[in-house]
């Protein structure tokens, strides 16, 4: 190329010429490819985007106070104090006899540590909101966030007739210790099973005979069940810590407690607690029930549902850990514990594995991404040729690889939204490379220049419009990144990943595509056929003329254009009418075909847990008749392990005899015809009717396809 041609080139042509024969160009391409492989290996796989929703519950005890007193003296002043903090979006409160619970929800994106420090400092600095010596206890702050949602839940049950929730709970607590050692785990919690207590049953006649009062026993228990440091002794060049007292270890220690002295003079002897009471250890009075229901095939071939006492272990992961890796490690550890910590007769049902679902969705979307890329390559092959298709395909791969690395560097995970952003933008990402390759192809077909001379000119001709089109698309997508609320960070991978991909595709089109075209198109034939057309234009021209000629030429051209305008308007109104007739449902996001849904039961206040369990069993009798249901877990008096939806709706605070949950697990979506939403809608009328008969509220809750809200309306 002579100096005059070089001076006439614009920015695009000069960039293409600079890298056209440079040896650094293939090295840059190799680095881009390796960065993409690195990002694919290290980026955590999640089912949903990890939205930083900082929430905290503040528990303020006020022993002995009524709900009205707690509300007036504690809840209202505490709300006013907490509302002073910046960055808070909502403050909710629940008042109970003897307890005020405040839920503080910060705006999305607030730093978790800084937010909790501000909350604690504000509460500590305003301790004088209640009069001194009123009896209000110290506040307790319990933070909650996205990483508190369990990624794995395991339901343990046994088919032995003598199996009890108490024995299962002991096994579960032993498993907790082992699972906590798995790298990446954060919190391991057991749902169900009674508390272990030492029960002291007083005998009034023995108390009277030994002249011991209940106050004496209470005082002795409080004074003895304590341990405190009492200094240290130095002996033999070593310091020995001295402690006074010790805590009770078991029921025998409690039974041997001295509660008084009987007799006079030399005949005095101690009175033990076992002398005036019966001391036993074991399960406390049940305040919650958990059971597991599954279909069992009988010897005669019939299938029936059987229920077993159960406990559920839920495990959450640490921030930034790969959900798939942690879930796989947990399941491997559970397999190792079988036959040792886990007895052979104890069954374990995997009722949640978000690691598997995250990997499944990520792999599915990656397959669709590959399919979309191959479709584009096939289209270019059919229209321009196989060498041009190879150039476009390599450019797309480099663009996607670099975009994945940029997404990882930005802090995104591999989830269905971030991968959807790449699939959504694949048609836009290839435009730059296709435009450049097509114009190089056209210049070679015209002839007159060597390939190394034609490429910079061809790139320069389309460079300006390509740059303008790229930034136009970015300008259309990027404002979505500034949406506030939960929807903003949930959908932010789409505008950010797509915008990054557009910038990277432009760089690849101007730097790498000309270099590869120079390598692959040098020996290709680009002769102009008779008629002056090349490629597939000759085949498309007759069809184009047949459609457009009646609209542009002839006596009826004007009338034909008006008919086209009218038909277009009618088509637009018909499309709008589809939504009005509800033939097409307008939604923000499509329903997600999950393998689970939840039934939430709220009985009238004061209902005992036994009655709640009975109603849950009645609800389960409806659910288990659904052919797509594999099993279910019922939770009476306690909440089921929460999901992201339950985190925002604070289902983790659900406890008490009047509350219950039913966790329903379905067949994998590949093995059933109906979607989970259709199944949930089908069972809802029967479940609601049972609730009406018992004066209860029954809600069928699905995991939403997008960010959860407190209520849809």
Mean local confidence (pLDDT), 409-421: 83
pLDDT category at 657 given cuts 50, 70, 90 is confident
Is 589 inside any structural domain? no
pLDDT at 4 exceeding the cut of 50: no
Encoded tokens for 74? 């504690």
pLDDT category at 244 given cuts 50, 70, 90 is low
User: What are the pLDDT digits (tens) for 109-156?
Assistant: 788 888 889 998 998 888 777 777 788 888 888 888 788 889 999 999
| Residues 273 and 170 occupy one common structural domain | no
Is 300 inside any structural domain? no
Q: For position 277, which CATH number holds?
A: 3.30.2090.10
Please give the share of the chain, as a percent, with pLDDT higher than 90: 27
Tokens 């560097």 correspond to 409
pLDDT category at 249 given cuts 50, 70, 90 is confident
Q: Give the model's pLDDT for residue 413.
A: 84
CA angle centred on 466, ends 371 and 528, rounded to 5°: 80
- 91-100, 484-493, 595-604: lowest mean pLDDT where? 484-493
| Residues 188 and 201 occupy one common structural domain | no
CB 16 within 8 A of CB 514: yes
- 66-75, 288-297, 627-636: lowest mean pLDDT where? 288-297
Q: How many domains does the chain have?
A: 5
Cα–Cα distance between 168 and 312 in angstroms, integer?
A: 10
Q: % helix / strand / coil in the chain, to the nearest 5?
A: 50, 20, 30
CB 673 within 8 A of CB 635: no
pTM for this model (two decimals): 0.78
pLDDT category at 514 given cuts 50, 70, 90 is very high
| Residues 310 and 378 occupy one common structural domain | no
| Residues 424 and 547 occupy one common structural domain | yes
Query: Which has the higher per-residue pLDDT, 572 or 3?
Result: 572
Mean local confidence (pLDDT), 616-628: 91
Q: Give the model's pLDDT for residue 429.
A: 79
Mean local confidence (pLDDT), 177-200: 89
| Residues 187 and 204 occupy one common structural domain | no
pLDDT category at 698 given cuts 50, 70, 90 is very high
User: What are the pLDDT digits (tens) for 376-387?
Assistant: 888 888 887 888
Q: Give the model's pLDDT for residue 292.
A: 93
Q: Which of 144, 175, 208 is the last residue of a domain?
A: 144
User: What residue numbers bound the domain in which 175 lies?
Assistant: 155-195+305-357
Residue 600: closest CA among 658, 546, 527, 515: 658
| Residues 660 and 561 occupy one common structural domain | no
| Residues 548 and 623 occupy one common structural domain | no
Q: Which of 112, 144, 176 is the last residue of a domain?
A: 144
Mean local confidence (pLDDT), 179-187: 92
| Residues 260 and 214 occupy one common structural domain | yes
pLDDT category at 394 given cuts 50, 70, 90 is very high
Is 449 inside any structural domain? yes
Q: For position 174, which CATH number holds?
A: 3.30.70.1320
pLDDT category at 40 given cuts 50, 70, 90 is confident
Q: Give the model's pLDDT for residue 32.
A: 93
Q: For position 397, which CATH number holds?
A: 1.20.1640.10
Q: Give the model's pLDDT for residue 172.
A: 92
Mean local confidence (pLDDT), 641-659: 85
Encoded tokens for 38? 């690195």
| Residues 136 and 73 occupy one common structural domain | yes
Is 169 inside any structural domain? yes
Cα–Cα distance between 643 and 630 in angstroms, integer?
A: 20
Cα–Cα distance between 63 and 500 in angstroms, integer?
A: 57
CA 14 to chain CA centroid, Å, is 47
Q: To the nearest 10°, report the CA torsion of 4, 5, 6, 12.
A: 150
Q: Give the model's pLDDT for residue 713.
A: 42
| Residues 678 and 638 occupy one common structural domain | yes
Residue 353, classed as helix, strand or coil, is strand
CB 67 within 8 A of CB 96: yes
Is 712 inside any structural domain? no
pLDDT at 313 exceeding the cut of 90: yes
Residue 144, classed as helix, strand or coil, is strand
pLDDT at 405 exceeding the cut of 90: yes
CB 635 within 8 A of CB 599: no
| Residues 338 and 431 occupy one common structural domain | no
Strand partners, 200: 279
For 227, the enclosing helix (H) or strand (E) is none
pLDDT at 1 exceeding the cut of 70: no
Encoded tokens for 394? 């390599």
Mean local confidence (pLDDT), 155-167: 88
Is 133 inside any structural domain? yes
Q: Which of 110, 144, 178 is the last residue of a domain?
A: 144
Is 236 inside any structural domain? no
Is 232 inside any structural domain? no
Query: Which has the higher per-residue pLDDT, 266 or 633?
Result: 633
| Residues 30 and 99 occupy one common structural domain | no
pLDDT at 538 exceeding the cut of 80: no
pLDDT category at 243 given cuts 50, 70, 90 is low
Cα–Cα distance between 555 and 543 in angstroms, integer?
A: 21
- 101-110, 222-231, 461-470: lowest mean pLDDT where? 222-231
pLDDT at 701 exceeding the cut of 80: yes
């Amino acid at each position: 190329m002579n100096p005059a041609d070089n001076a006439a080139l614009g920015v695009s042509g000069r960039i293409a010429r600079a890298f056209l024969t440079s040896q650094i160009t293939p090295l840059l391409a190799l680095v881009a490819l390796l960065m993409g492989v690195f990002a694919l290996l290290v980026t955590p796989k999640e089912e949903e985007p990890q939205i930083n929703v900082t929430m905290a519950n503040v528990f303020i005890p006020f022993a002995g106070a009524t709900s009205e007193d707690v509300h007036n003296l504690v809840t209202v002043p505490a709300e006013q104090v907490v509302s002073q903090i910046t960055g808070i979006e909502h403050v909710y409160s629940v008042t109970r006899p003897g307890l005020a619970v405040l839920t503080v929800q910060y705006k999305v994106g607030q730093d978790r540590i800084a937010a909790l420090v501000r909350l604690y400092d504000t509460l500590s600095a305003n301790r004088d909101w209640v009069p001194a010596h009123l009896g209000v206890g110290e506040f307790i702050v319990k933070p909650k966030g996205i990483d508190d949602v369990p990624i794995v839940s395991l339901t343990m049950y046994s088919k032995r007739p003598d199996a009890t929730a108490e024995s299962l709970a002991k096994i579960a607590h032993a498993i907790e210790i082992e699972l906590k050692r798995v790298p990446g785990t954060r919190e391991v919690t057991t749902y169900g099973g009674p508390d272990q207590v030492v029960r002291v049953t007083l005998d009034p006649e023995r108390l009277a005979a030994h002249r011991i009062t209940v106050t004496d026993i209470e005082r002795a228990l409080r004074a003895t069940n304590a341990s405190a440091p009492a200094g240290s002794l130095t002996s033999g060049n070593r310091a020995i810590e001295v402690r006074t007292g010790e805590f009770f270890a078991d029921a025998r220690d409690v039974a041997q407690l001295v509660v008084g002295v009987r007799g006079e003079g030399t005949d005095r002897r101690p009175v033990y607690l076992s002398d005036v009471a019966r001391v036993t250890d074991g399960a406390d009075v049940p305040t919650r029930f958990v059971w597991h229901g599954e279909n069992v095939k009988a010897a005669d071939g019939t299938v029936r549902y059987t229920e077993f006492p159960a406990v559920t272990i839920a495990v959450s992961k640490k921030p930034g850990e790969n959900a798939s890796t942690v879930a796989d490690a947990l399941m491997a550890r559970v397999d190792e514990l079988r036959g040792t910590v886990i007895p052979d007769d104890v069954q374990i049902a995997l009722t949640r594995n978000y690691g598997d679902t995250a990997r499944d969705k990520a792999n599915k979307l990656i397959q669709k991404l590959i399919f979309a890329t191959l479709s584009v390559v096939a289209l270019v092959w059919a229209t321009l040729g196989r060498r041009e298709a190879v150039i476009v395909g390599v450019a797309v791969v480099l663009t996607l690889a670099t975009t994945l690395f940029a997404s990882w560097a930005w802090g995104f995970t591999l989830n269905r939204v971030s991968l959807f952003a790449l699939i959504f933008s694949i048609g836009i990402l290839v435009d730059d490379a296709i435009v450049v390759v097509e114009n190089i192809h056209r210049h070679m077909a015209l002839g007159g220049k060597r390939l190394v001379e034609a490429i910079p000119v061809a790139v320069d001709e389309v460079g300006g419009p390509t740059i303008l089109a790229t930034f136009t698309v970015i300008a259309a997508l990027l404002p979505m990144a500034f949406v506030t609320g939960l929807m903003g960070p949930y959908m932010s991978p789409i505008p950010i990943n797509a915008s990054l991909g557009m910038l990277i595709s432009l760089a690849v089109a101007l730097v790498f595509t000309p270099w590869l075209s120079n390598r692959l198109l040098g020996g290709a034939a680009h002769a102009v056929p008779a008629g002056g057309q090349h490629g597939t234009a000759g085949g498309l021209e007759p069809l184009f003329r047949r459609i457009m000629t009646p609209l542009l030429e002839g006596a009826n051209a004007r009338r034909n254009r008006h008919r086209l305008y009218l038909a277009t308007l009618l088509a637009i109104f018909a499309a709008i009418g589809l939504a009005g007739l509800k033939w097409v449902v307008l939604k923000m996001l499509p329903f997600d075909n999950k393998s689970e849904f939840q039934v939430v039961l709220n009985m009238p206040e004061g209902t005992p847990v036994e009655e709640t369990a009975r109603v849950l069993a009645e609800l389960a009798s409806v659910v288990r008749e659904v052919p797509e249901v594999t099993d279910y877990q019922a939770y009476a008096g306690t909440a089921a392990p929460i999901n992201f939806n339950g985190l925002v709706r604070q289902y983790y605070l659900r406890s008490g005899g009047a509350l219950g949950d039913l966790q329903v697990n379905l067949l994998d979506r590949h093995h059933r015809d109906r979607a989970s939403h259709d199944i949930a809608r089908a069972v809802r009328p029967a479940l609601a009717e049972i609730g009406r008969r018992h004066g209860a509220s029954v809600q069928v809750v699905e995991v939403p396809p997008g960010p959860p809200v407190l209520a849809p309306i």
